[in-house]
Structure 1
């Protein structure tokens, strides 16, 4: 791989990471309502999911998923259901929270530990077959047919680093403005908007096709 190819690959991955989607909604919600550590954990979960899909695409597993209708449908349905689940929980939390203390209790009851935030980011990405389509279409353009393990790992790690850098930046920027989000009305607004967005992404994912 040439330097130009690596830079081009990094640019495409960066554009994909910055595109608004469920990963972004999850990281913003965790950062705004639960704090910096939770936002960072969610961002690292998303990055871990990207690494999994990049390796799957490099080894041909992701291509098998996109070509096998049953596997693609199962991942799509489970992923859509998970996004709707996250969205419904966010809406319920928004409607029943009257102050910061009750909001914190609601967050704890929905599993908002650091592991829960990491898991939310990880599952949000790995249960999205659109990520498989993205990497299946992208990697062959930068890897020769006889590419060995080192180039595969190199591109996968580049994808992880870029994704992590973007979402860690988002998490820290949102967390820095958390004083604004500490107002009960603002927290309810964030919960309501993020919940609606996640449900919308879930419904859209349910109708995703490989074509």
Structure 2
């Protein structure tokens, strides 16, 4: 399995608990507590990371999410990343690529994305969100639209409002909006406009703390089977 040492002597078949924990970026206790009934089911983000680390197929992913209480449908955002999209990201090494769900939670990324935007595995799970990183300024990489500096802000804020209305039974978009409302005056101002829109491909100006300013084409691909989007 990618990221684990090969040919390791084992007394029993299968993975040790610490191995998927390392790949997912959580503590071993995070894996053990749900097994022992000492915690609720893992979050959708942890399930997505587990599916990626264990290289699960589409049916296996759906079963994992269903067992954890994150079944798709019923007005909830899908966090499933199909095996074909996962392979595409793994094989694309010439440009930064990342996969997000409908509320911009980061589900999957390649090495160039980590080099450009900072390694998401070093962040808390709750902070692996494009809007959170953008509006709180906690990323080494800052994004701007091709026109005014507020153009991208308005587009991202309107996109979150659209997702909130589209997935009425999913509380997470509203929770993210409330969290941003408390933290970012800029986002709070955008929310007062009540704009609804879908964020579209554009030329994005990237200001990196070490590299400087880059002008990049930003393409967005939406999968047909599920809602995650690739950047």
Q: Normalized against structure 2, the TM-score is what?
A: 0.23
- Give the helix-richer structure, 1 or 2: 1
Task: Determine which structure has greater relative contact order: mean sequence separation of CA pairs < 8 Å that are 6+ residues apart, divided by chain length.
Answer: 1
Higher relative strand content: 2
